Structure 1
């Protein structure tokens, strides 16, 4: 089994963790923005399929 030769410093560990969290933060902002855009139905970059309700008169 592979074992690291030396211990990773705390600063390097924290730096990697912060980078990982920063990426997740920006992905979450993008996902929220996309959700808001799709709910507003004003985006021109996506095709929306809206089901039309038929009324029986």
Structure 2
């Protein structure tokens, strides 16, 4: 017969949720930072085709 699981304490639940939110916030900050560096042209770790290369390929 099925036995109910023990209830998770509020503190454990809150810690888990805070950890998840912290990870999401850090990833969002990284993405924003990368986006800013790409827009300013200072990105060294992100490789993408530039408009000039695309125009050269079409000719």
TM interval, shorter chain, is 0.7 to 0.9
Q: Which residue of 2 aligns with 1:11?
A: 11
Q: Call closer, same or farther: CA 1:24–1:4 in 2, change over 3 Å.
A: farther
State the secondary structure of the residue aligned to 1:42: coil
TM-score by length of 2: 0.71
Unpaired runs of at least 5, structure 1: none
Greater relative contact order (CA < 8 Å, ≥ 6 in sequence): 2
Name the one with the larger helix percent: 2
TM-score by length of 1: 0.73
Q: RMSD between aligned alpha carbons?
A: 2.0
Moved over 3 A (4+): none
Unpaired runs of at least 5, structure 2: none
